[in-house]
Amino acid sequence: MMVIGEAAGTLPTGVHARYPEVPWREMRAMRNIIAHSYVSVSDGIIWDTIEQEFPAFLDIVREIVDNEQAGAGEADD
């Protein structure tokens, strides 16, 4: 979860703009909570996120990677 949140924060803004359905802000926020407020992290919330949200997220990531590779060479901001 931390790696995903970190990666979400380093993607070009153009990627964020092209995929507004992805909860970029929430992913970065969860990473920050895990990294900086680990005492208050709920194992249940983390587990529920992995079980309920992660499979759909993987599908979206695969689609993004395919789309971005197909558009490689195009300008990004």
74-77 contacts, C-beta under 8 A, 24 or more apart:
76/12, 76/14, 76/15, 77/12, 77/13, 77/14
- 28 in active site: no
Catalytic residue of the set 16, 25, 28, 36: 36
Selected catalytic residue, list 16, 25, 31, 62: 31
The yes-or-no answer on residue 36 being catalytic is yes
The catalytic residues are 31, 36
